[in-house]
């Protein structure tokens, strides 16, 4: 039996050694500076094509507008005069309604009920008779407007749909209804379709397949090393190398800012748009990960990483056990020999426009927190993963058939919890810093509203807020 096993190993080695060497050579080529410069040049070329397409669309729209004006016999000056005449002829009641309109910022209702519209509220010392005598229709317009805004476009629902594009990027998803603009633009789209689905997609699938094999093989080899500083140093180099190779499957162009603040220990927190966030951050630094065990493609990655470094994976039944999660998290961050642990406190993916409520768990440990802001360029791909609509395979298919993954990553200065500062306040302070740096909207709503209804206490707080504004003596 021993001789047969030895012969089998030798045969497998002879068969797979050339394949492994070929992958290694491909990794060296795909992760070298030349490859990164090539991807940057590719992205710059795409920008010029997008500008050309946008110019053609704007030119076509301008011609249509001029044609309409010629048909109606209305010039720009006449339109402006007509608008002024309409405004001058407004009745006093219409003028009051116009002046009482509230801006969108005035209509925002926060989950803690601390909204404060800028319109004047009813004084509390007014009598009921005075209220009856002075009432005008515009008194209720802000409530009607707020209700309509909440129904049509509330702050939560729009954070879980694709980010709206300002201009067409020659992909299927666009903010403009498809129509024939010009032969040149149509030919450009057809060529782009052919390149994306018949050149980029097959090559990216191949690179992704090889990258996962390479990651699995390298982490398995690192796993044979003894625990200690040497194993950590080797894993850091290997993981960065492997994830940079994996990023080639999406033609990733990642720009890292403020590297002097790069996390080396403690907790690293970042806003969350896509599972690809993990790959993006690993292209420049190594992290320990925390989360639920998965099957399928993600499960392969998890098991590969677990062989080479200490990560925290939970079974589905353990995820909601806060004490168990907090205990294992604290044990990890208290060990100086372990990698910084990467956490996405939002708990779900948001569509690259906002940062929603951070869960307080990772801010109760008492360790130093390294904030990281990630912002994707929506002109090249829609990086947001709507997990309630698309599976992981569907999402990867859409990403690999897009143009490229372009993003910026900012490492922010480490933050510590202040004396007598609650974990919630600390989480909100970190969230505000990330939102400001990434140019994202800072929201107080819980991202879990993506899958559940609003809590009963939130509804009661909103009712109390409205009742205070209507209260009379």
Tens digit of pLDDT for each residue in 426-473? 999 999 999 999 999 898 877 766 666 666 666 677 677 666 665 554
Residue 347, token pair as written in the block: 């708990």
pLDDT category, 90, cuts 50, 70, 90? very low
Higher-confidence position of 332 and 7: 332
Higher-confidence position of 162 and 329: 329
pLDDT of residue 33: 77
pLDDT of residue 197: 92
pLDDT category, 92, cuts 50, 70, 90? very low
pLDDT of residue 403: 92
pLDDT of residue 189: 85
Query: Among 55-64, 98-107, 214-223, where is mean pLDDT lowest?
Result: 98-107
CA distance 216 to 300: 8
pLDDT of residue 406: 94
Q: What is the mean pLDDT of the chain?
A: 76
Residue 128 has pLDDT above 60, yes or no: no
Q: Count how many residues are written for the chain.
A: 473
Checking phi first, is residue 420 left (phi over 0); if not, alpha (psi -120 to 50) or beta?
left
Answer whether 473's CB lies under 8 Å from 124's CB.
yes
Residue 116 has pLDDT above 50, yes or no: no
The average pLDDT across 327-344 equals 86
With a CB cutoff of 8 Å and minimum separation 6, the contacts of 344 are 269, 270, 271, 272, 277
Residue 229 has pLDDT above 50, yes or no: yes
DSSP at 288: E
Residue 255 has pLDDT above 80, yes or no: yes
Q: In this prediction, what percent of the chain has a pLDDT beyond 70?
A: 65
The average pLDDT across 369-394 equals 89
Residue 302, token pair as written in the block: 């998890």
Answer whether 261's CB lies under 8 Å from 362's CB.
no
pLDDT of residue 117: 44
Residue-wise pLDDT for 33-84, tens only, equals 778 888 899 999 998 888 888 887 778 778 878 888 777 765 555 555 554 5
Residue 155, token pair as written in the block: 């702050």
3-state secondary structure of 271: coil
pLDDT category, 311, cuts 50, 70, 90? confident
Torsion of CA 431, 436, 438, 444, to 10 degrees: 40
pLDDT of residue 273: 92
pLDDT of residue 436: 93
Vertex 302: Cα angle to 300 and 306 (nearest 5): 120
Residue 283 has pLDDT above 90, yes or no: yes
CA distance 393 to 294: 14
Can you give the pTM of this predicted structure? 0.75
CA distance 138 to 310: 62
Residue 222, token pair as written in the block: 């690192």
pLDDT category, 326, cuts 50, 70, 90? confident
Beta bridge mates, 254:
407
pLDDT of residue 121: 46
pLDDT of residue 1: 47
Beta bridge mates, 407:
254, 376
pLDDT category, 281, cuts 50, 70, 90? very high
Beta bridge mates, 288:
341
The average pLDDT across 320-346 equals 82
Q: In the sheet where 312-314 sits, what is the strand order?
A: 252-257, 405-411, 369-376, 267-270, 341-343, 288-292, 312-314
The average pLDDT across 85-108 equals 43
Residue 456, token pair as written in the block: 């009963």
Higher-confidence position of 195 and 292: 195
CA distance 285 to 240: 6
The average pLDDT across 332-354 equals 87
Residue 372, token pair as written in the block: 């990281």
CA distances from 354 to 127, 155, 160, 307, 395 (A): 43, 10, 10, 35, 20
Residue 376 has pLDDT above 90, yes or no: yes
- Strand 369-376 to strand 405-411: parallel, antiparallel, or no bridges (unpaired)? antiparallel
CA distance 447 to 356: 6
Residue 411 has pLDDT above 90, yes or no: yes
**Max Cα-Cα span within the chain:** 104
Residue 87 has pLDDT above 60, yes or no: no
């Amino acid at each position: 039996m021993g001789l047969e096993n030895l012969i089998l190993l030798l045969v497998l080695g002879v068969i797979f050694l050339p394949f492994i060497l070929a992958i290694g050579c491909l990794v060296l080529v795909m992760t070298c500076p030349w490859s990164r410069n090539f991807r940057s040049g590719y992205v710059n070329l795409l920008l010029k094509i997008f500008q050309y397409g946008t110019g053609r669309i704007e030119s076509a729209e301008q011609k249509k507008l001029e044609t309409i004006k010629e048909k109606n016999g209305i010039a720009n000056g006449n339109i402006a005069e007509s608008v002024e005449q309409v405004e001058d002829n407004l009745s006093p009641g219409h003028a009051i309604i116009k002046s009482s309109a509230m801006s969108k910022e005035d209509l925002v209702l926060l989950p803690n009920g601390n909204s404060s519209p800028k319109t004047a509220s009813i004084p509390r010392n007014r009598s009921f008779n005075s209220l009856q005598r002075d009432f005008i229709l515009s008194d209720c317009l802000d409530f009607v407007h707020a209700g309509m805004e909440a129904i049509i476009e509330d702050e939560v629902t729009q954070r879980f749909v694709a980010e709206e594009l300002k201009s067409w990027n020659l992909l299927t998803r666009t903010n403009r209804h498809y129509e024939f603009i010009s032969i040149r633009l149509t030919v450009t789209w057809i060529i782009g379709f052919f390149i994306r689905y018949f050149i980029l997609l097959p090559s990216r699938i191949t690179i992704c397949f090889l990258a996962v094999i390479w990651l699995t093989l390298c982490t398995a080899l690192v796993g044979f090393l003894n625990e200690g500083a040497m194993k950590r140093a080797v894993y850091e180099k290997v993981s960065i190398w492997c994830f940079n190779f994996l990023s080639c499957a999406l033609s990733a162009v990642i720009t890292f800012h403020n590297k002097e603040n790069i996390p080396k220990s403690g907790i690293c927190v970042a806003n969350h748009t896509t599972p690809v966030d993990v790959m993006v951050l690993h292209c420049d630094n190594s992290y320990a990960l925390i989360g639920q065990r998965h099957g399928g493609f993600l499960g392969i990655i998890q098991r590969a990483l677990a062989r080479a470094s200490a990560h925290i994976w939970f079974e589905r039944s353990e995820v909601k056990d806060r004490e168990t999660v907090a205990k294992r998290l604290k044990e990890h961050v208290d060990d100086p020999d372990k990698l910084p642990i990467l956490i996405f406190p939002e708990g779900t993916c948001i569509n690259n426009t906002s940062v929603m409520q951070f869960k307080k768990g990772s801010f109760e440990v008492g360790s130093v927190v390294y904030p990281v802001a990630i912002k994707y360029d929506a002109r090249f791909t829609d990086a947001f993963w709507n997990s309630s609509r698309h599976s992981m395979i569907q999402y990867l298919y859409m990403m690999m058939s897009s143009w490229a993954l372009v993003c910026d990553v900012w490492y922010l200065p480490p933050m510590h919890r202040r004396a007598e500062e609650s974990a919630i306040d600390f989480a909100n302070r970190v969230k505000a810093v990330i939102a400001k740096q990434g140019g994202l909207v800072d929201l107080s709503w819980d991202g879990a509203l993506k899958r559940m209804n609003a809590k009963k206490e939130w509804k009661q707080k909103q009712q109390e807020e409205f009742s205070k504004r209507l209260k009379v003596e």
